[in-house]
Amino acid sequence: MVTCRRLTGASIPDVDRATATASTAPGCTPRALLLFEPPDGGAPEVVLNLALSMERHGFGPLVAGPERASIRGRLEEAGVEYRPLPQLTRGSRSLLNDVRALRGLDALLADTRVDVIHAHSSKAGVLGRLAGRRRGIPVVYTPHCFAFLRDLGPLARAIPAGIERALAPLTSAYVCVCESERQAALALSRAAPERAHRIYNGVPEPSPQTSPERALRDFKGDGVLIGAVTVLRRQKRVDVLIDAIPEVLAREPRARFAIVGNGPMRARLEAQAAALGLDEEPRFAFFAFEPPSGRYLSALDLYVLSSAWEAMPMGILEALSWGVPQVVSSVGGTVEAVTGATGRLVPPKEPRALAQAIVEMLGSPQALADAGAASRARHREVFDAERMVRETVGVYRSVVAAARRQRGGEARAPWPVAAGREELGVGSPREKRAMVPLN
């Protein structure tokens, strides 16, 4: 059954109030379907932050994703409707399973009014665009790192590139989480620049109620705690960090290393650590992850991410928000997040370079404190969650209005896209003017 919700005047900002109902029936809240397939990691966290805040900007959220998504409980506790799609799973190579997921999505859209679909990650991007085309619903796509940019073989990159090229005409707009991703979208899809928006991921300010995980605090003792807080998957290349750890421990007696995370690589990484003698090293330990990440980041003195590929990883942004300096591999959007004032960038897959950067960061307590302060400032200036939500909702408004024009509806109201880009100093004046119409 198609439903309609109303926004109260107090719940809509002034800039949104006049146009909050332009895409649907009078008095109804425009609604965005946030579709994703990774059960954990950065993409679901972006979905969570959007869903919890977009209603303040005049759009209602509906979320659909895996049955056992890490964010499902938090969404439902907040009163956000969550529709599980059991067949929507990451890594499945079953075409039949994907067809079933597409049918489930189509059934959801037939039963529920949705004004725009925002698909997150590759499989959701494919299914969302196909379903949107069938139902006449505009689709916004956020790749969270295109599959063809990953550290894979030529054939493994060529197939997703071909699929993405074929689906480009079905994409109303790309919301890219970093400039390198935006440039990839433009090069592959040959889309007009105004269809590809660079909107950095954002994370909320740390909660003052969050306390450090007691086991991690006890492990740290009076040492300096270096940690990776990440999903244990191949992409994250935690093995590179493990290879770097013995050198750091030999050069810096105060150092303590914690690897915090869950995932399919856990057993292999533990075996690697044991082969290096780290299983008997009291200054090294694995910890299971249980959200929120602030329980662990608040205990760290230095954050490390040694990924082989990334777009704009949420872990870095969370480290910035907590004032934790960073040492990360220079891939994708990490070069747009980490500066010389907040941390160090190192080449990917080079343990010795990683070890050297960590030792350098630990060399001066004052420099480490200064990097922490610079990290907090950078988060507030560039990577806050409200800015991300505001800019993303601006894109929703434009694609919905463009779809109405194409159907012969009312003229588009003057809704701003990517509000706040000027104060961030992003893009040329010509690019800023081009960010509004999506045809």
Quick: pLDDT tens for 23-38.
455 558 899 999 999 9
- What residues form DSSP beta bridges with 32? 61, 116
pTM of the model: 0.85
149 falls in which pLDDT band (50, 70, 90)? confident
Contact 345, 335 (CB under 8 A): yes
Question: What's the pLDDT at 422?
Answer: 35
Q: What percent of the chain has pLDDT over 70?
A: 86
Q: Give me the mean pLDDT over the 301-329 stretch.
A: 97
Question: What's the pLDDT at 320?
Answer: 98
69 falls in which pLDDT band (50, 70, 90)? very high
Q: Give me the mean pLDDT over the 232-238 stretch.
A: 96
Write out pLDDT tens, residues 122-140: 999 999 999 999 999 999 9
Q: What is d(CA 379, CA 218) in angstroms, rounded to the nearest whole number?
A: 28
For residue 161, the one-letter residue type is A
Question: What's the pLDDT at 26?
Answer: 52
More confident residue, 210 or 409: 210
Q: Give me the mean pLDDT over the 426-435 stretch.
A: 34
Residue 51 pLDDT > 70, yes or no?
A: yes
Question: What's the pLDDT at 152?
Answer: 72
Q: What is d(CA 79, CA 60) in angstroms, rounded to the nearest whole number?
A: 11
Using alpha carbons only, how large is the chain's radius of gyration in Å? 22
Write out pLDDT tens, residues 177-190: 999 999 999 988 88
- The domains located in the chain, with CATH, are 9-202+385-434 (3.40.50.2000), 214-382 (3.40.50.2000)
Q: What percent of the chain has pLDDT over 90?
A: 77
Write out pLDDT tens, residues 334-344: 999 999 999 99
Contact 405, 366 (CB under 8 A): no
Residue 425 pLDDT > 80, yes or no?
A: no
Q: Give me the mean pLDDT over the 322-348 stretch.
A: 97
Mean of pLDDT over the chain: 87
Q: Give me the mean pLDDT over the 52-64 stretch.
A: 97
Question: What's the pLDDT at 189?
Answer: 80
Q: Give me the mean pLDDT over the 52-56 stretch.
A: 96
94 falls in which pLDDT band (50, 70, 90)? confident
Residue 421 pLDDT > 70, yes or no?
A: no
Write out pLDDT tens, residues 365-396: 999 999 999 999 999 999 999 999 999 999 99
Q: Give me the mean pLDDT over the 246-275 stretch.
A: 97
Cα 134–Cα 136–Cα 138 angle in degrees, nearest 5: 115
3-state SS, the chain, equals CCCCCCCCHHHCCHHHHCCCCCCCCCCCCCEEEEEECCCCCHHHHHHHHHHHHHHHHCCEEEEEECCCCCCHHHHHHCCCCEEECCCCCCCCCCHHHHHHHHHHHHHHHHHCCCCEEEEECHHHHHHHHHHHHHHCCCEEEECCCCHHHCCCCHHHHHHHHHHHHHHHHHCCEEEECCHHHHHHHHHHHCCCHHHEEECCCCECCCCCCCCCCHHHHHHHCCCEEEEEECCCCHHHCHHHHHHHHHHHHHHCCCEEEEEECCCCCHHHHHHHHHHCCHHHCCCEEEECCCCCCHHHHCCCCEEEECCCCCCCCHHHHHHHHHCCCEEEECCCCHHHHCCCCCEEEECCCCHHHHHHHHHHHHCCHHHHHHHHHHHHHHHHHHCEHHHHHHHHHHHHHHHHHHHHHHCCCCCCCCCCCCCCHHHHCCCCHHHHHHCCCCC
More confident residue, 151 or 6: 151
Write out pLDDT tens, residues 304-315: 999 999 999 999
Question: What's the pLDDT at 274?
Answer: 98
More confident residue, 419 or 344: 344
Residue 412 pLDDT > 50, yes or no?
A: no
CB atoms within 10 A of CB 255: 21
Q: What is d(CA 323, CA 297) in angstroms, rounded to the nearest whole number?
A: 9
